[in-house]
Amino acid sequence: MIHTRILFALALWGVCCVPATAQTSGSSLLWKISGKGAKSSYLMGTIHVIPQEDFFLPAGLETAVKKSKQLVLEIPLDNSNLASLLSAMTGMLLPADKPLNKLLSESQFTDLQRFMKDSIATAIPMYERIKPIYLAQQLSLSHCVSGKTVSYETWLSGEFRKQKKKTLGLETVKEQMTILDSIPLESQVSYLMEIVNNPAEACLQLDSMFMLYRNQDTDALMAFTQKQDEMNAMQETLLDTRNQKWIPEIEAFIRDEKTLIAVGAGHLSGEKGVIQLLRNAGYRVEPVF
C-alpha cells in the first residue's frame, strides 16, 4: 500500500514527511521555544483529521493556549479567510473536459462506482469533477471511520477565538492548493484506486497512523510515512522548502508575541524539520511532557 501511506501522510503534514533516520530526541507533540530574544512560545504537531473518540489534548497544551497571545497555523481558519477558502475550492476540481470517467480507465471507473455504491452508499455524479487525491481522502475517511472526525486546528482556532486572541497563518490557501497540485494526476489516480481495490488494508494503515499519533510517537510516525521512494522524491517540494520558508516567519512571530505555532506533525522532525531548523537558528526547542 505504498500510495496509501503517502495519502494518509497528508493528514500529518498538510503535505509531507521526514527522513526516518533523523530524530527529535523526545517523543512529544508539544515543544517549548525560548532563547535568542523570543518570547516564550510553543510548537505543536497536529494531525489534520482524527476520529472524535481519539481526540486528546497533549500534556501542557491547555497551558500553552492560555499563555500564548496568538495562534499561528499553516493557514488561518477564521471568517476573514472564508473568501479565499471558497475561491480555493475551485482548485479541487478537475477540468470540465476531463472528469473522472475520462481520467480513469473504463475498468477503474466501474470499480470506483461499485465501491461508492456498496461501501459508502454514495452515488458518483456529485464527485465526478473532484481531483482524485481529494476524493481518495474523503472515501478513506467515510469508509474507515464510522463516527465523527475532528480537527486540532479547528479546536485551537475555537479556543483562541473564545479568548479573543488572533489567529494567523504561515501560508495561504492558494499556496497549499498549488503544493497539492504538484502531485501528478497519474499518482493521484493510483492513491484513489488503492483505496477502492483494497479498502481493508487502507483502514489498517489509517488506524495505525491514529494509534501512533495518540502515543505521540513522532519517530514512528515518520517511519510510517517514509517507507517508499516516491515520498523521498516529493519531499523537497512538499516538505523541506516549506519548512525552510516558515523559519523567518516563525522568528518574526515569536519575537513579537508569545505564540503557539501548530503545524502538521510531520513537519517537526528530521534534519530539515522545523525543530532542528529553529535550533540551528539559535533557539532552544524542548519537549513538553
Q: Is residue 6 scored above 50 in pLDDT?
A: no
Alpha helices, DSSP H, located in the chain: 2-13, 61-67, 82-88, 100-103, 106-119, 132-144, 152-162, 173-181, 185-197, 199-214, 218-225, 229-235, 241-256, 274-280
Q: Is residue 22 scored above 70 in pLDDT?
A: no
Domain boundaries, given as residue ranges, for the chain: 2-287
* CB-CB contact of 230 with 191 (8 Å): no
Q: Look at residue 20 in the predicted model and tell me its pLDDT.
A: 34
Q: Is residue 160 scored above 60 in pLDDT?
A: yes
Own/partner long-range contacts of 32-37 (Cβ < 8 Å, ≥24 apart): 32/284, 32/285, 32/286, 32/287, 32/288, 33/254, 33/261, 33/278, 33/283, 33/284, 33/285, 34/283, 34/284, 34/286, 35/282, 35/283, 35/284, 36/281, 36/282, 36/283, 37/255
DSSP string, 237-277: IIIIHHHHHHHHHHHHHHHHS-EEEEEEGGGTSSTTSHHHH
Q: Look at residue 19 in the predicted model and tell me its pLDDT.
A: 34
Q: Is residue 234 scored above 80 in pLDDT?
A: no
Q: What is the pLDDT of residues 265-288, one digit of tens each?
A: 888 988 889 999 999 999 999 999
Q: How confident is the model at residue 18 (pLDDT cuts 50, 70, 90)?
A: very low
Q: Look at residue 235 in the predicted model and tell me its pLDDT.
A: 72
Q: How confident is the model at residue 13 (pLDDT cuts 50, 70, 90)?
A: very low
Q: What is the pLDDT of residues 83-120, one digit of tens each?
A: 666 666 778 889 889 999 999 999 999 999 999 988 88
Average pLDDT over residues 201-216: 90
Q: Is residue 248 scored above 50 in pLDDT?
A: yes
